[in-house]
């Protein structure tokens, strides 16, 4: 259902232009309430409640939001007059009651602050009105209004405004409610641009203020939980345009700026529509939370979407549709804000200043470091210039940006990017030349998106602008994520990243055609939201795009394969045992050759880093590097000659033994220990870890209790993660006791390898991180605490540590992920595979360990993957005899126990 809007030729009325609305306020009815309730304040409170009911009904009935906001301010005006007029000072001509700030603009939401200025002709008048004013303010608080008030003379207002841009801005928007209106006029004249804050200084201060405000919100319109008032693209951006223009043009409405030539009619319509939508969201937030709430938290997004009439479909949730609309509105508002403020600076404030103009060609020139068109018909006469300008920017690092007037021309002519434009060989050549440019590719693609060109040139990209997924894993919209992927790819070329990304840095400089990687990065997620598998659908789009852009069928097939399999490497590394030769051979077979492996590794690394900054850590990096290295070896050896398990074991043993002998450890002691460790240990641990563990075990006293090592493996960089190695007598509840102890320490388990030797000792390895994502680092006190806690818990695992039940984090409470449990038997390895998908929660692994213990199930291995609010874990388990679980009743009991435990609402 569409919200009722004003006609295209109608301006939003000022509050002074509104007609009487007896349903909201009727003087006779108010007088009756005063008589019945015994006082004006009580009648005021009752009238506000009645008016809110009416306005909320109008809002839910989709009436025009601007009239609702104005009507609430009008109603407040009538009630303020009733309260003021009972005061003895109400008839005096040296005092006035003024509305300032948002109330001065007549923009009142259900729980907006009521900002008031009691304006005095002279400060000496304050004492004689003290009793009246104290009564007035006390009554406002008793009524329950959120009031911000000040009592100042005209001179005091002027002096304070001179020193504080916020006060000056509030006074600009003041209007007289009661008392002598001449005081307000005098105050406005005293604080006018010719007296304080001239236009240049005012603009500079507001621009600086906006930059600081945007910095607090990560300089993006795409925050997961955006502040609809203060974030980029929020209401404050629209207000800033209005403030700057009002200071210069003395305009009271945004629509007045069209007549002044500052806004085009189309730009006004976009700002007007954006403001209306943001007001709807804010109004819904206020009635939902019953407070002045501007943050669109996960707690509220679903409910706001429902209030505004969004409904689920087969392809997208209602909340995803709503947030897509929000992000698109915020992006359009932010784009206009940037362009209009830059235009104001260039065309008005800097008019008449010395300029340097350097010609480029017949269509473009550089003016004071910024590119501009040579005349306003350039894009109309030569549509290809809409791409050419970005290619020029990429090829000329000395150009700082685009002039505002030219940005406006690009926006006004973006409709020319149609099928005819896309089929023009000049434009195809321009785009491919841009992708092959050595500099500023990401910057130009970002600008193209921002000015509406990229979404028109690649329609599938345009479809996902603002599209989010309602989860904590994908923290960016699809369009932002896709460009972040390309930005990461560009970063890999720099020598300064070689230390942190040695393999991908090397790969970047040897890829035969780097533009293929960029195209795969652009297209890998563009089919999301259509229904169906986005990887399959996207691979078709990518292939067609490549063929259309005159790439060979081999190149097109390479890009198509990368898009179709862009999740293959990350899923293999996170969910499968990359130390298993069979896993490596299977993965290598799918990849096929070294060139494709290189492209896939670069794409995967850039993709993970661009999905969520918290997702990329040293542990995931080490898994990907291990998978890459082993696959590279398999490809060199030849897929027809896979390394068998015994060869893998012997290679690991030989390298580990060489390390140990270099450290002076006798070979016979090592071999005697290894005879009891079993083949699985040498398959699943690196030779460096084997050497480190072996040395520690041999040096550990025979009756010294559990051996617990905490540190980093020699050949890995876990960054925030640490490795815990446990060597102790095996027991059925060893895993459950270990994870419960780690949970008590607020540690997150990223991976677990559970190995039992032939002599009935456990050799268990856990990769752990702090629960809040911070680095464990080299804190000796924390390391000692972890080791002692585990040693105490594992001395007698039967004394199972209590599972600490901590509160579910706020962000997780608003997701509903039904627990999925899939149990199957891996006959080749004689074990049972339990796959778990569930909502993440504190202590989840400890709960799973308890269930395994209660059902007499042994854990052999685990792959732990936490993706935002979702866990996708794989457990390799056996019965008490070390065999596959063949009892259907036990499998059903396991599944039911896990679902019952994890589907129970957390505190």
Please, what's the b/e burial string for 493-505 (b: 16 or more CB within 10 A of its CB; e: otherwise)?
A: eeeeeeeebebbb
CA dist 363 and 385 (Å) reads 8
Closest to 640 (Cα-Cα) out of 589, 568, 587: 589
Once rounded to an integer, what is the mean pLDDT over residues 768-793? 80
What are the start-end ranges of the E strands in 830-906? Answer: 831-839, 858-863, 866-867, 870-878
Comparing 51 with 582, which gets the higher pLDDT? 51
Closest to 490 (Cα-Cα) out of 466, 469, 514, 510: 514
pLDDT reading at 717 higher than 50: no
Once rounded to an integer, what is the mean pLDDT over residues 91-104? 94
How far CA 821 is from CA of 75, 787, 848, 858, in Å, comes to: 57, 33, 12, 17
Query: Looking at 289-303, 398-412, 484-498, 800-814, which range is the least confident one?
Result: 800-814
Once rounded to an integer, what is the mean pLDDT over residues 262-273? 92
pLDDT at residue 815, as a whole number: 67
Comparing 741 with 389, which gets the higher pLDDT? 389
CA dist 597 and 624 (Å) reads 12
pLDDT reading at 642 higher than 90: no
Residue with token string 């599944």: 895
pLDDT at residue 637, as a whole number: 84
pLDDT reading at 7 higher than 70: no
Once rounded to an integer, what is the mean pLDDT over residues 22-38? 94
SS3 612: coil
pLDDT at residue 503, as a whole number: 92
Once rounded to an integer, what is the mean pLDDT over residues 413-441? 96
For the stretch 653-693, pLDDT in tens is: 999 999 999 999 999 999 999 998 888 888 888 898 899 99
pLDDT reading at 888 higher than 80: yes
Once rounded to an integer, what is the mean pLDDT over residues 76-101? 94
**Is 49 exposed, middle or buried, given 0-12, 13-18 or 19+ CB atoms closer than 10 A?**
exposed
pLDDT at residue 686, as a whole number: 84
pLDDT reading at 12 higher than 80: no
pLDDT at residue 566, as a whole number: 96
Q: Are 624 and 573 in contact (CB under 8 A)?
A: yes
Residue with token string 């089929």: 423
pLDDT reading at 504 higher than 50: yes
Q: How confident is the model at residue 782 (pLDDT cuts 50, 70, 90)?
A: confident
What average pLDDT is seen over the chain? 89
pLDDT reading at 455 higher than 60: yes
Residue with token string 């000496």: 124
pLDDT reading at 4 higher than 50: no
Per the rule left: phi > 0, alpha: psi between -120 and 50, beta: everything else, 38 is left
Once rounded to an integer, what is the mean pLDDT over residues 612-632? 81
Non-local CB neighbours of 663 within 8 Å, separated by 6+ positions = 691, 695
Q: How confident is the model at residue 864 (pLDDT cuts 50, 70, 90)?
A: confident
Q: How confident is the model at residue 6 (pLDDT cuts 50, 70, 90)?
A: very low
What is the side-by-side strand order in the sheet with 95-99?
A: 147-153, 114-120, 95-99, 175-179
Once rounded to an integer, what is the mean pLDDT over residues 463-490? 88
How far CA 49 is from CA of 75, 79, 145, in Å, comes to: 11, 12, 12
Per the rule left: phi > 0, alpha: psi between -120 and 50, beta: everything else, 732 is alpha
Per the rule left: phi > 0, alpha: psi between -120 and 50, beta: everything else, 664 is left
As a three-state string, the secondary structure of 662-719 is HCCCCHHHHHHHHCCCCHHHHHHCCHHHHHHHHHHHHHCCCCCCCEEEEECCCCCCCC
Residue with token string 């028109």: 456
Helix (H) or strand (E) holding 172, with range, is helix 165-172
CA dist 247 and 169 (Å) reads 9
SS3 796: coil
Closest to 387 (Cα-Cα) out of 539, 549, 508: 549
pLDDT at residue 807, as a whole number: 58
The DSSP letter of residue 512 is S
SS3 813: coil
pLDDT reading at 906 higher than 70: no
For the stretch 113-141, pLDDT in tens is: 999 999 999 988 888 999 999 999 999 99
Q: What are 5's two structure tokens?
A: 């809007």
Non-local CB neighbours of 554 within 8 Å, separated by 6+ positions = none
SS3 500: coil
Q: Are 723 and 766 in contact (CB under 8 A)?
A: yes
Is the sign of the CA dihedral 731, 733, 737, 738 positive or negative? positive
CA dist 352 and 356 (Å) reads 12
Is the sign of the CA dihedral 66, 68, 71, 72 positive or negative? negative
Closest to 740 (Cα-Cα) out of 731, 750, 749: 749
For the chain, percent of residues with pLDDT exceeding 70: 93
SS3 747: strand
Closest to 73 (Cα-Cα) out of 137, 14, 146: 14
The answer to whether the pTM exceeds 0.85 is: no
Q: Highest mean pLDDT range out of 276-290, 733-747, 867-881?
A: 276-290
How far CA 798 is from CA of 118, 660, 738, 758, 853, in Å, comes to: 73, 35, 11, 22, 10
CA dist 558 and 539 (Å) reads 10
For the stretch 322-354, pLDDT in tens is: 999 999 999 999 999 999 999 988 887 887 788
HSE of 738 in the Cβ direction (CA atoms, 13 Å)?
27
pLDDT reading at 191 higher than 90: yes
**Is 357 exposed, middle or buried, given 0-12, 13-18 or 19+ CB atoms closer than 10 A?**
exposed
CA dist 415 and 410 (Å) reads 9
**Is 596 exposed, middle or buried, given 0-12, 13-18 or 19+ CB atoms closer than 10 A?**
middle
pLDDT reading at 587 higher than 70: yes
How far CA 204 is from CA of 159, 295, 368, 669, 731, in Å, comes to: 20, 28, 19, 76, 70
Q: Are 851 and 858 in contact (CB under 8 A)?
A: no
**Is 810 exposed, middle or buried, given 0-12, 13-18 or 19+ CB atoms closer than 10 A?**
exposed
pLDDT reading at 236 higher than 60: yes
Beta bridge partners of 62: none
Q: What are 646's two structure tokens?
A: 């015994």
Strand 147-153 versus strand 114-120 pairing type: parallel
Radius of gyration of the CA atoms of the chain, in A? 34
SS3 764: strand
Q: What are 502's two structure tokens?
A: 């040695």
CA dist 445 and 755 (Å) reads 50
Is the sign of the CA dihedral 239, 242, 246, 248 positive or negative? positive
User: Beta-carbon neighbour count of residue 273 at 10 Å?
Assistant: 14
Helix (H) or strand (E) holding 40, with range, is helix 40-60
pLDDT reading at 314 higher than 80: yes
Q: CA dihedral defined by 224, 225, 226, 228, rounded to 10 degrees? A: 140
CA dist 623 and 574 (Å) reads 7
CA dist 36 and 42 (Å) reads 10
Q: How confident is the model at residue 714 (pLDDT cuts 50, 70, 90)?
A: very low
As a three-state string, the secondary structure of 421-477 is HHHCHHHHHHHHHHHCCCCCHHHHHHHHHHCCCHHHHCHHHHHCCCCCCCCCCCCCC
């Amino acid at each position: 259902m569409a919200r009722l809007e004003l006609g295209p030729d109608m301006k939003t009325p000022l509050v002074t232009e509104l007609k009487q609305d007896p349903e909201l306020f009727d003087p006779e009815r108010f007088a009756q309430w005063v008589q019945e309730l015994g006082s004006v304040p009580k009648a005021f409170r009752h009238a506000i409640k009645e008016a809110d009911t009416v306005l909320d009904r109008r809002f839910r009935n989709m009436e025009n939001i601007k009239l609702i906001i104005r009507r609430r301010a009008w109603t407040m005006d009538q009630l303020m007059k009733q309260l003021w007029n009972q005061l003895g000072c109400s008839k005096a001509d040296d005092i006035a009651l003024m509305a300032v700030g948002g109330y001065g603009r007549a923009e009142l939401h259900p729980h907006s602050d009521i900002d008031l200025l009691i304006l005095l002709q002279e400060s000496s008048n304050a004492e004689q009105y003290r009793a009246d004013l104290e009564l007035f303010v006390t009554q406002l608080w008793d009524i329950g209004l959120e009031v911000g008030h000040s009592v100042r003379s005209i001179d005091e207002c002027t002096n304070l405004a001179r020193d504080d841009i916020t006060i000056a801005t509030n006074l600009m928007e003041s209007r007289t409610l009661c008392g002598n209106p001449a005081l307000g006029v005098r105050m406005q004249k005293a604080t006018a641009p010719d007296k304080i804050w001239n236009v240049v200084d005012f603009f500079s201060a507001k621009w600086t203020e906006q930059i600081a405000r945007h910095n607090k919100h990560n300089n993006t319109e795409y925050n997961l939980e955006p502040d609809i008032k203060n974030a980029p693209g929020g209401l404050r951006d629209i207000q800033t345009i209005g403030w700057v223009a009002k200071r210069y043009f003395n305009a009271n409405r945004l629509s007045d700026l069209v007549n002044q030539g500052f806004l085009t009619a189309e730009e006004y319509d976009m700002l007007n529509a954006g403001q209306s939508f943001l007001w709807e969201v804010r109004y819904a937030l206020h009635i939902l939370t019953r407070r002045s709430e501007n943050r669109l938290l996960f707690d509220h997004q679903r409910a706001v979407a429902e209030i505004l009439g969004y409904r689920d479909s087969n392809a997208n949730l209602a909340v995803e549709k709503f947030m897509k609309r929000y992000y698109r509105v915020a992006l359009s508002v932010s784009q206009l804000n940037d362009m209009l403020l830059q235009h104001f600076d260039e065309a008005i404030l800097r008019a008449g200043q010395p300029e340097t103009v350097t010609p480029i060609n017949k269509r473009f020139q550089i003016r004071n470091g910024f590119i501009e068109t040579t005349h306003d018909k350039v894009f109309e006469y030569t549509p290809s210039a809409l791409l050419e300008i970005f290619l020029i920017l990429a090829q000329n690092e000395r150009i700082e940006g685009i002039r505002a007037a030219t940005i406006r021309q690009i926006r006004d002519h973006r409709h020319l990017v149609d099928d005819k434009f896309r089929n023009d060989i000049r434009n195809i050549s321009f785009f491919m030349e841009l992708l092959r440019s050595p500099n500023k590719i990401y910057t130009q693609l970002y600008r193209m998106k921002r000015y509406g060109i990229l979404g028109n040139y690649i329609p599938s990209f345009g479809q996902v602008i603002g599209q989010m997924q309602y989860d904590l894993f994908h923290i960016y919209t699809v369009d932002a994520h896709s460009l972040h992927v390309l930005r990461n790819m560009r970063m890999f070329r720099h020598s300064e990243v070689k230390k942190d990304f040695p393999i991908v840095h090397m790969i970047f400089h040897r890829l035969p055609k780097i533009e293929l990687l960029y195209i795969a990065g652009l297209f890998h997620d563009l089919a999301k939201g259509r229904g169906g598998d986005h990887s399959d659908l996207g691979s078709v789009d990518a292939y067609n795009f490549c063929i259309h852009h005159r790439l060979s069928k081999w190149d097109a097939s390479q890009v198509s394969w990368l898009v179709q399999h862009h999740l293959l490497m990350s899923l293999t590394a996170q969910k499968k045992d990359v130390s298993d030769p069979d896993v490596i051979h299977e993965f290598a077979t799918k990849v096929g050759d070294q060139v494709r492996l290189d492209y896939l590794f670069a794409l995967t690394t850039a993709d993970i880093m661009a999905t969520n900054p918290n997702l990329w850590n040293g542990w995931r990096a080490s898994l990907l590097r291990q998978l890459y290295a082993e696959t590279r070896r398999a490809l060199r050896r030849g897929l027809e000659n896979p390394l068998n398990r015994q060869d893998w074991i012997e290679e690991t043993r030989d390298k580990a033994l060489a390390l140990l002998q270099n450290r002076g450890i006798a070979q016979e002691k090592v071999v005697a220990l290894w005879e009891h460790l079993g083949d699985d240990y040498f398959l699943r641990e690196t030779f460096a870890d084997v050497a480190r563990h072996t040395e520690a075990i041999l040096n550990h006293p025979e009756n010294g209790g559990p051996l617990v090592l905490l540190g980093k493996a020699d050949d890995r960089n876990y960054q925030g993660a640490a490795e815990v190695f446990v060597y102790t007598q095996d027991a059925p509840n060893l895993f459950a006791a270990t994870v419960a102890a780690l949970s008590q320490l607020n540690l997150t388990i990223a991976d677990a390898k559970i190995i039992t030797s032939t002599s009935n000792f456990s050799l268990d390895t856990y990769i752990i991180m702090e629960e809040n994502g911070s680095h464990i680092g080299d804190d000796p006190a924390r390391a000692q605490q972890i080791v002692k806690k585990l040693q105490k818990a594992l001395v007698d695992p039967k004394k199972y540590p209590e599972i600490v039940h901590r509160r579910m984090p706020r962000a997780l409470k608003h997701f509903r992920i039904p627990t999925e449990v899939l149990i199957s038997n891996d006959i080749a390895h004689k074990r049972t595979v339990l796959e778990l998908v569930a909502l993440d929660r504190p202590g989840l692994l400890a709960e799973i360990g308890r269930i395994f213990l209660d059902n007499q199930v042994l854990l052999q291995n685990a792959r732990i993957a936490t993706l935002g609010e979702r866990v996708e874990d794989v457990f390799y388990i056996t019965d008490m005899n070390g065999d596959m679980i063949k009892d259907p009743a036990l499998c059903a009991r396991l599944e039911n126990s896990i679902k019952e435990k994890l589907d129970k609402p957390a505190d």
